[in-house]
Structure 1
Amino acid sequence: MFQTSRISSCVLAALLGIAGAAQAAEPIRIGMIDGLSGPFANAGQAVVRNLQYAIDRINAKGGVRLPEGARPLALATFDNKQAVEESLIALRQVTDQRIGFVVQGNSSAVAAALIDGIEKHNQRTPQQRLLFLNYSAVDPTLTNDKCSFWHFRFDAHADMRMHALTEVIKDDASSHRVYLIGQDYSFGQQLARSARAQLGSKRPDIAIVGDELHPIGKIKDFTPYIAKIRASGADTVITGNWGNDLTLLVKAAKEGGLNVKFYTFYGNGLGAPAAIGEAGVGRVRAVAEWHPNTGQGVSNSPSDAYYQAFRQRYPQPEDDYVHLRMHLMIEMLASAIEKAGSTEAAAVARALEGARFRNAFHEATMRADDHQLLQPLYVSVMRKTADGSVRFDNEGSGYGFKTERYLPLSQTALATSCKMKRPS
C-alpha cells in the first residue's frame, strides 16, 4: 500500500511538474477580435467562455508540446464593437503585440476585412505572419472566391447550413409559402440567394412570398416585420438572424401569435428558446454541427459527458451556449502547432491542411483546397423537456432541441470555387 501510494504521488508530482513547466513558459497567444459590447455583446461573451474552456483543457494536459518544451495557450480579447474599422484597429494592436493567431466569427463583413488586412500584413511583414481562424463567419465567398491561405473556417458556411435546412423543408408537405428575413449585410444577402436557389431546385412548387433584409443590430421592435409575414400568408420562415436580432424577432412572433414554422441557423440559444416558448414546440428548427441532445438514448453517452463538463464549468443558465466547433478549432490548432514543431503561421497552416479531428461523438476534416472544415450537421426541432422528449433544455428555459435530421460529413460537403494562392 505504501509503495503504491508513493508511486502515485510520484506520478502526480511529475504531471504537476509538466503542467507547471508549461505554465512557466512563454504562452502562445491567441487574439480574439469580436463584439464584446453593444447589441451583440452576449454573443461575444459566449465565444470567450467557449474559447477559454477549450484553452484550459489544453493547458490542463500540459500545454502545446514543442521541440523547445511545452507552452500554454493564452487568450487575449479585443472588442471590435461589431464594426469593420474597429476590427482593423484591433488587428494593428494584435500585430503590435506580436500575437500570431487571430480568431473571429460574429460577422462575415468583419471576417472579409480581416482576411484582406492579414493578407496585406503577411506580404509586408513575412517575418511576422498571422493565421486567421474563423469560428462563425459563414459567408460562402470566404472559402470560395475570396479564399486565402491564411484563413481557415471551422463552421459550416451558409450554403452548407441552408442545404441541411432545405433537406428537411423538401420533405415537409405542409410547407408551401416561405418568407425570407435576414440581416442586411453580406451574410444575410447570401443566405437569401442560397435559400431561393436551393428551394427552387428541391421544391420548385414552393412560393417565396417575402424577402426582407433589415439593418443589423438596429431594430428594437420586430412587430412590423411580423405583420408583413402574417399578411404574406407564409407558413414557413427562414432566417439566419443571430444574437438579439433573432431573439427579438421570435419574441415578436410569439407576442403576435404568428403561427408559422421557423427554420433558423441559430434558434437554439442566446435567449431564443425562452423568448418564443411554447409557441416554438415542434415549429422552431435550428442547424448546427452538434447540440446537447445528440447523445439522448445512448448509454454512457460521450456527448452527454462533454456537455455536462461544460455546464459544470459554467453553471449559470445564461452561460449555457456550447460551441463544439470552437473547442474543436482550439484542439486542431494545438495539434497543428505540434505537428509543425513551430508557431510560424505558414508552417501551422500547412499542418492544418487536410488535418482530421475525431472524438467519441464527432469527426471533421479540414479541406486543403479551400480551408473549409467538413463535418456532420444536425437539424433539430424544439421540444419541451417536461414531456420527456429531450433530456437537456437550453439556458434553463424548459425547452430543448431534438434531432430531426442528421447529415453525415459526406452529405454536407459542397463544391468550392477557391483557387488558393500559397506562399512559396
Structure 2
Amino acid sequence: MKRTTHQETRAMAFQHRAGRLARGLALAATALLATAAQAQEPLRIGTFLSVTGPAAFLGDPELKTLELYVDRINAEGGVLGRKLQLVSYDDSGDAEKARTFAKRLIEQDKVDVIVGGTTTGTTMAAVPLAEQAGTPFISLAGAVPIIEPTKKWVFKTPHTDRMACEKIFADVQARKLTKVALISGSGGFDKSMRGECLKVASRYGVEFVADETYGATDTDMTAQLTKIKGSGAQAVLNAGFGQGPAIVTRNYRQVGLSLPLYQSHGVASHEYIKLSGPAAEGVRLPAAALLVSEILPANDPQKPVVSSYRKQYEDKFKSDVSTFGGHAYDGLMLAINAIKSAGSADKAKVRDALETTKGYVGTGGVVNMSANDHMGLDLTAFRMLEIRNGAWTLVK
C-alpha cells in the first residue's frame, strides 16, 4: 500500500479546507440572497373597510387616507427599506363579509398587520380570527368591547363610546342639567353606547327620563321624539351613527323640541351637518381635535399633526376631512412605528411594540398604551364641539 507523503497530506488538507470554505460561501450567499429577497418583499398592510353601504361616510375617507399615506411613505423610500403594499376589501358594513375578508387577509394574502374594521360589528367579526392567527389588528371602530376585556392582538384608535358618554355628561353637569332623554339606534355601536351611558350616568348625577330606540332603516323618528317631548327631559342624547342621527336631528326640530341635543362622536364629520341642515344648529358632540384644527391654540401639541393631515387630505381629494379618516391615519402610523421599533415585521415583536406605544401624538389624541389599555387615550383627547352657523366651534 502506497504511503501518503507529507506534501500530499498538506494538499488534501488544503482541498478539504477549500471545500468547506466554498460550501460556507455558498451558504452565506444563499442567506444573503434570501435576506435580499425578503428585503424586496413588501410589507403588507391589510384592511377591510365599509367603503360602500350605510357606513360609507366612515369607510370611504378611511380607505382614501390609507391609500394616500401608503403612496407617500413609498415615495419616501418605504419602511425598513421595504415598500408598503395595501391589500384592501370593501365589506359594505356586513359583518359576515368582514369575517370572510379578514380570513382571506390572514390566510391567503398573508398580511403583516391589519388596520381596519370601520364599524363595531365588522370589527368584532374579525377579532377571533386575528387572535387565533396571532396577527396584529388595529381597529378603527368605537365600542368598548373591542378592547375590553383586553385582547392580546387587538388594538384600536378611536375614542370609546364610554368616553363619549362621560364627556357628554360632564358637559350636561356643567350646564346644571340632570334629566336626560336617551334615543338610540339598533346597530352594534348604538347598542354599546346606550349601555355604556346607562352605566356611567349616575356618576354625573344624570337621570334618564326616557329611553327610545329606532331601527336601522327607519326614516322618521317623530313618534319617539314626541314621547321624549312630554317626558320632562332637560336635554336629549342620541347614541348612534350613520344616517339615523341626521334624521333624529331634523325630526327633533319638526316636533318643536328646543332642548339641548347631544350626538355621539360617531357622527363627527361635515357630512352630518350637511345631512341635518339648519336643524343641526346648537347640537353638541365630543370629537377629536381634527375637526377644529384651524381654531386650536398654537401651542396645542396636536395642532401640527391635525393641520398637516387635513391639508394633505383636502388637497388630494378636494373634500372635507373627517375624524374617521383620522382614525385610519393613526392606525397606519401606529403600525408603522411599531414595525420600525421592532426592526422587522415579526408579528409578535410588532404586537409588543404596539402595546408599549408611549407619547404618540395623533389625530385622535396623545396615545399611551399598556398591557391593560390597547387604545391609550384618556378623556382629554376629546373636545366638546358645538355647531354654529353650519360650522364646528369649540365649547369653552
Task: Answer whether TM exceeds 0.5 for this pair.
Answer: yes
Of 26, 45, 49, the match for 2:60? 45
Q: Which amino acid aligns with 2:114?
A: V
Aligned to 1:200, what secondary structure does the other structure show?
helix
2-structure distance, mates of 1:89, 1:360: 30
Between the aligned residues of both structures, percent identity stands at 21
Label 1:89 to 1:321 Cα distance change in 2 as closer, same or farther (>3 A).
same
Query: Is the aligned partner of 1:170 residue 2:185?
Result: no
2-structure distance, mates of 1:26, 1:253: 55
2-structure distance, mates of 1:322, 1:92: 24
1-structure distance, mates of 2:387, 2:93: 32
Counterparts in 2 of 1:25-424, with a 5 A limit? 25-65=40-80, 70-94=81-105, 95-120=107-132, 122=133, 129-136=134-141, 138-145=142-149, 147-173=150-176, 175-203=177-205, 206-215=206-215, 217-266=216-265, 267-269=267-269, 271-281=271-281, 283-296=282-295, 298=297, 302=304, 303-317=306-320, 323-359=325-361, 362-375=365-378, 376-384=380-388, 399-404=390-395
Q: Which amino acid aligns with 1:403?
A: L
Q: Give the conservation status (yes or no) of the 8 Å contact 1:290–1:324.
A: no
Q: Which amino acid aligns with 2:357?
A: A
Instruction: Report the alpha carbon displacement of residue 321 of structure 1 after superposing the two structures with TM.
Output: 5.4
Aligned to 1:343, what secondary structure does the other structure show?
coil
- Measured against aligned partners, the alpha-carbon deviations of 1:172-218 in whole angstroms (never above 9, x if no partner) come to 12x34311122224432332232223221211xx4312212333x32
Larger deviation, residues 85-94 vs 49-58: 49-58
Label 1:297 to 1:118 Cα distance change in 2 as closer, same or farther (>3 A).
closer
1-structure distance, mates of 2:287, 2:123: 20
Label 1:139 to 1:292 Cα distance change in 2 as closer, same or farther (>3 A).
closer
Q: Give the conservation status (yes or no) of the 8 Å contact 2:42–2:84.
A: yes
- The CA RMSD over aligned residues, in Å, is 2.8
Instruction: Report the alpha carbon displacement of residue 322 of structure 1 after superposing the two structures with TM.
Output: 5.8
Q: Which has the larger radius of gyration?
A: 2
Instruction: Report the alpha carbon displacement of residue 298 of structure 1 after superposing the two structures with TM.
Output: 4.0
Q: Which amino acid aligns with 1:192?
A: R
2-structure distance, mates of 1:210, 1:37: 34
Which residue matches 1:411?
none
Q: Which runs of 5+ in 2 are unaligned?
A: 1-35
Q: Give the conservation status (yes or no) of the 8 Å contact 1:378–1:403.
A: no
2-structure distance, mates of 1:322, 1:191: 17
Q: Which amino acid aligns with 2:78?
A: G
Label 1:258 to 1:50 Cα distance change in 2 as closer, same or farther (>3 A).
farther
Q: Give the conservation status (yes or no) of the 8 Å contact 2:286–2:385.
A: no
Label 1:195 to 1:297 Cα distance change in 2 as closer, same or farther (>3 A).
closer
1-structure distance, mates of 2:138, 2:151: 11
Q: Give the conservation status (yes or no) of the 8 Å contact 1:380–1:401.
A: no
- Measured against aligned partners, the alpha-carbon deviations of 1:259-310 in whole angstroms (never above 9, x if no partner) come to 22222223431522123344433x3112123233245264596344442332
Q: Give the conservation status (yes or no) of the 8 Å contact 2:47–2:117.
A: no
Q: Which runs of 5+ in 1 are unaligned?
A: 1-20, 123-128, 386-398, 406-424
1-structure distance, mates of 2:278, 2:214: 26
Instruction: Report the alpha carbon displacement of residue 50 of structure 1 after superposing the two structures with TM.
Output: 2.4
TM-score with structure 1 setting the length: 0.74
Label 1:160 to 1:117 Cα distance change in 2 as closer, same or farther (>3 A).
same
2-structure distance, mates of 1:275, 1:109: 24
- Measured against aligned partners, the alpha-carbon deviations of 1:12-61 in whole angstroms (never above 9, x if no partner) come to xxxxxxxxx9xx94332222223233222222112112222333343343
TM-score with structure 2 setting the length: 0.79
